[in-house]
Amino acid sequence: MIKFPSDRRYNSLSVYLREKYMHRLQKISVNAGFTCPNRDGSVAVGGCTYCENKAFNPSYCDPGKSIKQQVEEGLLFLRKRYKNAGEFMVYFQPYSNTYDSVDKLETIYNEALAIPDVSGIVVSTRPDCVDEEKLQLLSDLSQSHYVFLEMGIESVFDKSLKRMNRGHDFKTSVQAFEMAAKYSLFTTGHYILGLPGESREEMLESAGILSEIPMKAIKLHQLQIVKGTEMHKDFENNPNDYKLFEREEYLDFAVSFCERLRPDLLIDRFAGEVPLPYLIAPKWGLFRYDQVMQMIEKRFEERNTWQGRLYEE
């Protein structure tokens, strides 16, 4: 059995960061007013079929407010909630946060980094919205601040990416992570489990494919149908296409998926969390993410298994 830090059975990103920096790095989400190329017509319109940013944005995230105001309001909220937070990072979360000119991006990122108590930035974006110049900017900023880059992969299957109106193929994701690796950036990939048209066997197979991408961490999301999205309409019109995970099934599947991931890949999250007013399906009840994570950790122990046990190089 592989020994992971803190006697976990998987390679935890939170443990890794806490051991490296000796305290918690807490994200403060902001909305900097970005959009996406598959919303403004550059690639497509309508956005990804599953996307509704209101479902995960804190109330203080408002593009009508300055970044400084959003961060200050976020600090007030998070200091009460997380007493052990050691440093704070501004999380550019909604939409594609590299989708602008390099000059504009530099101004926006530096505005966040100039705020007292901010030690770094987390930039969430699409793989088709990065290039050498933007990655060089992030690399330059990483010389004096923490810089983390998150990119949505969502699926390794082009059939799924097309159905969700993603606007790019899987090869684009691979190329973006390979490019970012040349700049030694800390990268995290987002991945959805349970997309329509993907069998359980295909999803398990994708763990090995993802393990070949030169990213540092992965953030897993079980498919959730969010109210008012295009996927919500498709779910109502084609319910037989969707085989959503029930809670107990997902606990087992997440463990099986992680058994097939390379062991040095850090796991940021095992599951997503949509506020109940926005959630159409699946209905897991009143469970917060930390409870789901504890259930998954227990399932690792019950099955006497660990991340990478079935990984094949």
Q: Give the residue-averaged pLDDT of 280-300.
A: 92
pLDDT band at 116 (very low <50, low <70, confident <90, very high): confident
Q: How many CA atoms lie within 13 A of 219 on its CB side?
A: 15
Return the domain boundaries, the chain.
5-302
> By the 8 A CB rule, do 148 and 121 touch?
yes
| Gap between the terminal Cα atoms of the chain | 17
Question: CA 221, CA 96: separation in Å to the nearest integer?
Answer: 18
CB contact set of 6 (below 8 Å; sequence gap of 6+):
12, 15
Tokens of 196: 């329509």
pLDDT surpasses 90 at 83: no
At residue 240, the 3 state secondary structure works out as: helix
What pTM does this model have?
0.94
Give residue-wise pLDDT tens across range 5-50.
999 999 999 999 989 887 788 899 999 999 998 888 888 788 898 9
pLDDT band at 313 (very low <50, low <70, confident <90, very high): confident
Give residue-wise pLDDT tens across range 128-157.
999 999 999 999 999 999 999 999 999 999
Question: CA 30, CA 7: separation in Å to the nearest integer?
Answer: 34
pLDDT band at 57 (very low <50, low <70, confident <90, very high): low
Report the 10 Å Cβ neighbour count for 72: 16
Give residue-wise pLDDT tens across range 174-186.
999 999 999 999 9
> By the 8 A CB rule, do 252 and 299 touch?
yes
Torsion of CA 231, 236, 238, 240, to 10 degrees: 110
CB contact set of 261 (below 8 Å; sequence gap of 6+):
207, 210, 211, 218, 267, 307, 308, 311
Q: What are the start-end ranges of the E strands in 4-101?
A: 24-30, 85-92
Q: How many CA atoms lie within 13 A of 298 on its CB side?
A: 8
Question: CA 54, CA 278: separation in Å to the nearest integer?
Answer: 9
DSSP class of residue 128 equals G
**Positive or negative torsion for Cα 163, 166, 167, 170:** negative
Residue reference for tokens 């069998």: 199
Q: What is the pLDDT of residue 59?
A: 66
* Residue range 5-302, CATH number: 3.20.20
Q: What are the start-end ranges of the E strands in the chain?
A: 24-30, 85-92, 118-125, 146-154, 186-193, 217-222, 225-226, 266-269, 279-281
Tokens of 163: 């159905």
Q: What is the pLDDT of residue 64?
A: 84
Q: What is the pLDDT of residue 151?
A: 98
**Average pLDDT over the chain, rounded to an integer:** 93
pLDDT band at 85 (very low <50, low <70, confident <90, very high): low
Phi, psi of 66 (to 5 degrees): -70, 160
**Least confident stretch, 19-33, 76-90, 105-119, 210-224:** 76-90
